[in-house]
Structure 1
Amino acid sequence: MPRLVQQGRECSRGVSRVFEVQPAAPAVLTIDLDAVVANWRRIAREVAPASAAAVVKADAYGLGAAQVVPVLVAAGCQHFFVAHQSEAEKIRDLVPDDALLAVLNGLHAGGEAAAAAMGITPVLNSVGQAQRWQAQAERLGRVLPALLQVDTGMARHGLAPDEVLPLAQDEAFRRAVPLVAVMSHLACSDEPDHQANADQAKAFAALAQGFPDVPRCFANSGGALLGAAFHGDLVRPGLALYGAEPADGRGEPFAPVVQLQARVVQTREISAGTPVGYGHSWQAAKPTRLATLSIGYADGFPRSLSNRGAAWARGHVLPIVGRVSMDVTVVDISALHAGALAEGDLVEIIGPHRSIEAVAQEAGTIAYELLTQLGHRYQRVYKGGCISAVDR
């Protein structure tokens, strides 16, 4: 199990406590809950009068839905999206009964009764999902709300354009399944100038006309930054809430949420020609000082960072040398004064000097993947999260 630490005030009791990083922790993942709230509030301000939801799928992008959802509820968020029904069931008790808890992938056949009993709202992505949800409503003799997704050019989720109008004209469906929103998903919102954004907006507007009185939900994090034409009535940011930049680094950066530090296991000096790590993929060209860090691919630290990534300490970038192993990674600390790093010291892996976007780029991936792969061997330290009514 991950080790969880909450820094600062204990809200329910009003007690001030300070928690120390555990000296035995191999690495420390610090998650700033106040920054999550600040990022949600920023988006809510920018998209008003539309409402801002929160996408908390994949355990709140790897940061802990059990910790993230309550602070967003306290901040006033009333709309939550997850990917799977099982994720919704895990956080059902954290979300108010009158708030929206929606499942983006919809429901697998057979899950309808449990979802209806728990007040979980599916996103209907196919005619089959819509028919099964309607049948469940009719069995129960009551209406069951849903969102309806239409495909506007991503060929992933949603009704095909020729399936939309027949469902819109199906009076029995509309009586049994009142639609919370009609929605779609942007494929290229991380590239603001991509023609696909305008093309999808046009397609969505046309398809949504079949549901004239139903709210519209279109924009993800990147879409929220594209302007009012993309906002509709409800936006559903995910990545931006967790401090990563959703679109080509344009505009003011979002508040950083994550800091990851790894502990020095040992240091050593090697002579020229000495190989390092599995496969001897790196050899020292000159006498070199090394530090072995307690972080590896079992912790979600990408193996693709072998011989190309870096850590940071004492004002210097520390290049990774050799392959990232399951449990450890070796960095070159020759730029530091001898003795500047010792066993037990922490070095920055992600943080103010090593942004999550920079680390992801070096790894040949994206911030989404890096966040959601953050491991459970870290000591997790949660900062902030105490929100009073006056703070809203």
Structure 2
Amino acid sequence: MISDFAGGRLTIDLGALQDNWRVLSAISPSSECAAVVKADAYGVGLAEAAQALAQAGVKTFFVAHLSEARTARAAAPDAAIYVLNGLPPGACDTYAALGVRPVLGSMAELAEWRAFVSATGADEAAAIHVDTGMARLGLDPEEARALFSSDGIGFRPALVMSHLACADEPDRPETERQRALFAELRSLLPNTPASLANSPGTLIARTSGGDLGFEMRRPGVSLYGSNPLPGRPATMKPVVKLEARIIQTRHVPAGTPVGYGGAETTRRPTRLAILSLGYADGVFRAAGSEHGAPGAFGFAGSVPCPFFGRISMDLVAVDVTDAPESATSRDDWVEILGDDFGVDDLARACGTIGYEVLTALGRRYERRYVGAGHAPLKEA
């Protein structure tokens, strides 16, 4: 098979994904723990992740686009599925046909959904998004107060929600201000379930003012093994393991420039392994080393092997001088992501965040799913 000769192999542990959801669910047992599976389930595969999470007990999923909702519906036929990016004009019939729920974040979206429900008698289930401090999507607080205090909604919303802006920095006061404002606004809809907490909000659980859980929490990146609270111990299991194939090794003397621009030069006799992996596969160019400034690492067994020079579109040079030749020969594998160097470690080496590392995982990898059964899926 062609996949047998892939340059990289990505192993996705669906059992770890399920275990992470169980840990997050247990933090606030009185609050439903949903799952965010947008962006192809943060790069691990939406269909496979949603199916595994549904098997574990997830009853509500959040995606960003209708195309994702279609895939999620096939994977989790009985789940409630919300589409975070709202209601495109003219899309009401498609939402109804798929049995998925728009997250309405503007007066125009509300008016279109209200008219559709009134004209067709369709299932009125939809969420209303209020902006409590992101200045992104959602009704502004004055719009929400006016709407919720009147009879103008025109249907019974299934959920009212907002999104935390700074919960990954737990000491910042903005989170408590958002919680208090959201609590005030949702009090105008006392019989409607409410959702505020994302991954960091789920993990910190409370502010000085009260519980962030409300009736539903919406963890995303933490499900997939990334730690959304920098500086605090990681509590989630790694979900992804990435390995890259060695396609060539070479011995070069000290003083040899390596890669584009000669941006890195060997300072000793060096053994290099050239990996079939590059920025086209989601290993960012910023992970390379330049002019003595270190970059990311791969691991040959337990031996750290630093990236050496600039990362190319399809290739990475790794210094394997200190690793045994028996583990670093042609067609051996170097671990890029795993227990020794996780998505957050690679993110730090690139000056970015674990979210970006996960969602950039490439499509050229051989993908292997382990840890939970999954069956072929039919698209809705």
1:173 Cα shift?
2.4
Alignment correspondent of 1:151:
131
Secondary structure at 1:291 match in 2: strand
Is this contact kept in 2: 1:85–1:107, CA < 8 A?
no
Shift of 1:340: 4.2
Say whether 1:335 aligns with 2:316: no
Counterpart of 2:31 (choices 41, 50, 68) is: 50
Residue 135 (structure 1) aligned with residue 108 (structure 2): no
Report matched runs for 1:232-381 at 5 Å. 232-251=214-233, 253-307=235-289, 308-381=295-368
Partner of 1:32 in structure 2? 13
The separation in 1 between residues aligned to 2:332 and 2:145, in whole angstroms, is 62
Higher RCO, 1 vs 2 (CA within 8 Å, ≥6 residues apart): 1
Deviation of the 1:142 alpha carbon: 3.9
Choose 212-221 or 142-151, whichever is displaced more. 142-151
Contact 1:190 1:222 in 2 (8 A): yes
- 2:192 counterpart SS class: coil
Segments of 5+ residues of structure 2 without an aligned counterpart are 290-294, 375-380
- Which stretch of structure 1 is more off in the superposition, 34-43 or 200-209? 200-209
Residue 158 of structure 2: SS of its match in structure 1?
Answer: strand
Please tell me the residue identity of whatever aligns with 1:319.
Answer: P
* Equivalent residue, structure 1, for 2:76: 95
Structure-1 residue corresponding to 2:165: 187
Q: What is the CA RMSD across the aligned residues, in angstroms?
A: 1.7
Between the aligned partners of 2:31 and 2:111, the Cα distance in structure 1 is 30
CA displacement at 1:166 relative to structure 2: 2.2
CA–CA separation in structure 1 for the residues paired with 2:88 and 2:34: 24
Q: Distance in 2 between matches of 1:365 and 1:259?
A: 19
TM score, norm. by length of structure 2: 0.92
Which consecutive segments of 4 or more residues in structure 1 shift more than 4 A?
20-23
Structure 2 counterparts to residues 107-256 of structure 1, below 5 A: 107-174=87-154, 177-228=155-206, 229-251=211-233, 253-256=235-238
User: Residue type of the partner of 1:123?
Assistant: V
Determine the C-alpha separation between the residues in 1 that align with 2:2 and 2:299.
19
Q: Is the contact between residue 116 and residue 144 of structure 1 (CA under 8 Å) also seen in structure 2?
A: no
State the secondary structure of the residue aligned to 1:28: strand
Q: Which whole-Å CA distance do the structure 2 matches of 1:23 and 1:104 have between them? A: 38
Deviation of the 1:157 alpha carbon: 1.1
Partner of 2:292: none
Q: Distance in 1 between matches of 2:26 and 2:301?
A: 38
Alignment check: 8 A CA contact 2:300 2:327 kept: no
Q: Structure 1's 274 and 95: CA in aligned 2 closer, same or farther, altered over 3 A?
A: same
Bigger mean CA deviation after superposition, 247-256 or 340-349? 247-256
Q: Could you tell me which residue of structure 1 aligns to residue 377 of structure 2?
A: none
Corresponding position of 1:8 = none
Structure-2 separation of matches of 1:226 and 1:336: 41
* 1:137-182 deviation line (CA, Å, top 9, x unaligned): 11203451111111111111110011002221342524xx211111
Is 1:35–1:255's contact at 8 Å kept on the other side of the alignment? yes
Task: Describe the SS at the equivalent of 1:36.
Answer: helix
Helix, strand or coil at the partner of 1:105: coil
Q: 1:143 to 1:341 in 2, by over 3 A?
A: closer
Q: Deviations over 1:262-317 (max 9, x none)?
A: 01111101112211111111111221111101100111110111211221113221
Q: 1:268, 1:289 within 8 Å by CA — same for their partners in 2?
A: yes
> Aligned partners of 2:124 and 2:116: how far apart in 1?
8
Letter in 2 for 1:206: E
User: Closer, same or farther in 2 for the Cα pair 1:204/1:186, shift >3 Å?
Assistant: same
CA drift at 1:185: 0.4
The reply on whether 1:62 has 2:62 as its aligned counterpart is no
TM superposition score normalised by structure 1: 0.89
| Structure 2: distance between partners of 1:211 and 1:243 | 35
Alignment-mate amino acid for residue 161 of structure 1: P
Percent sequence identity over aligned pairs: 43
